[in-house]
């Protein structure tokens, strides 16, 4: 009897594992199709702005991060559509095209240390974590900071440090950063973030009024510390909040 129930348990368990594998495979195929669908468009914009082609590592990173793990269960079947999705608390996980573009515009290098304002689900941080040495990300909504910390740890992203707080002030103790990505719309470019950018570093940030179209801006600090700002394209992000 004991033997029998063990066997039943093992059979049920292997069926569940097979089902999970099949699902994983299906998600991987959907993910690859999504990345292939947006690749050319992202690459054209990057080439237009930076004058160099998009690094293939960026598309590889997008193909390896399981976006379905970063959305609520009810949204999983939508995870590989090219659209933002709600993650609770009035916040969203960004559209894959926008994540790809922001990541590619940072031109991330393997030794880089990057700061993200607005952890949200942790998806953008995970994509960056595939490409750079360390990611420091700050989220102002405590339950989102907690769930992203748990999720990133569970998925093995041990080079991401999540903190709860107001990212407007950056993270002076980990600065300067090779790259900064801001994933909430700011009314202006936060001076503390410009301060914490390394000479030669880049920041990508949506700037504009809340709940209207904003401009995705590329901020570049040259080796002498001069800052140059360019507008990339119109975007719609949730607003930057906090007491600044």
Nearest Cα neighbor of 117 from 88, 89, 79, 91 is 91
Tokens at residue 74, please?
A: 């009810």
Catalytic residue among 5, 14, 43, 94: 94
Burial per residue of 131-155, b for 16 or more beta-carbon CB atoms within 10 angstroms, e otherwise: bbebbbbbbbbeebbebbbebbeeb
Residue 90: Cβ within 10 Å count: 10
Instruction: Choose between 112 and 139: whose C-beta lies nearer to ligand SAH.
Output: 139
Q: Which residues bind ligand SAH (CB under 6 A)?
A: 91-94, 117-118, 120-121, 123-124, 138-141, 144, 166-168, 183-184, 238, 240-242
Distances in Å between the Cα of 97 and the Cα atoms of 36, 38, 124, 133 are 11, 6, 11, 23
Phi, psi of 48 (to 5 degrees): -65, -40
CB of 150 to ligand SAH, least distance (A): 14
Round to the nearest angstrom and report the end-to-end CA distance of the chain.
67
Active-site residue, 94 included? yes
Residue 163 burial by CB count (10 A; 0-12/13-18/19+): exposed, middle or buried? middle
Residues 6+ apart with CB under 8 A from 152: 122, 125, 126, 129, 160, 162
Instruction: Choose between 54 and 185: whose C-beta lies nearer to ligand SAH.
Output: 185
Instruction: Choose between 72 and 225: whose C-beta lies nearer to ligand SAH.
Output: 72
∠ CA 19-25-26, rounded to 5°: 90
Instruction: Choose between 187 and 231: whose C-beta lies nearer to ligand SAH.
Output: 187
Residues noted as catalytic: 94
């Amino acid at each position: 009897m004991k033997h029998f129930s063990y066997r039943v348990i093992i059979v049920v368990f292997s069926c569940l594992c097979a089902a999970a594998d099949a699902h994983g495979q299906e998600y991987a195929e959907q993910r690859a199709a999504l990345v292939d669908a947006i690749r050319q468009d992202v690459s054209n914009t990057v080439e237009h702005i930076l004058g160099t082609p998009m690094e293939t590592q960026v598309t590889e990173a997008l193909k390896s991060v399981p976006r379905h793990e970063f959305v609520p269960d009810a949204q999983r079947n939508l995870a590989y559509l090219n659209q933002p999705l709600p993650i609770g608390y009035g916040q969203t996980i960004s559209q894959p095209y926008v994540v790809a573009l922001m990541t590619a515009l940072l031109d991330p290098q393997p030794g880089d240390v990057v700061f993200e304002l607005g952890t949200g689900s942790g998806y953008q941080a995970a994509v960056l974590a595939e490409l750079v040495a360390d990611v420091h990300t700050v989220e102002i909504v405590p339950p989102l900071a907690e769930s992203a910390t748990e999720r990133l740890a569970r998925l093995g992203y041990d080079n991401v440090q999540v903190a709860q707080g107001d990212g407007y002030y950056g993270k002076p103790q980990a600065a300067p950063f090779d790259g900064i990505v801001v994933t909430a719309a700011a009314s202006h470019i936060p001076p503390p973030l410009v301060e914490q950018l390394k000479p030669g570093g880049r920041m990508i940030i949506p700037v504009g009024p809340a709940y209207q179209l904003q401009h995705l801006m590329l901020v570049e600090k040259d080796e002498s510390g001069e800052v140059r700002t360019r507008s990339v394209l119109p975007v719609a992000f949730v607003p930057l909040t906090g007491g600044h």
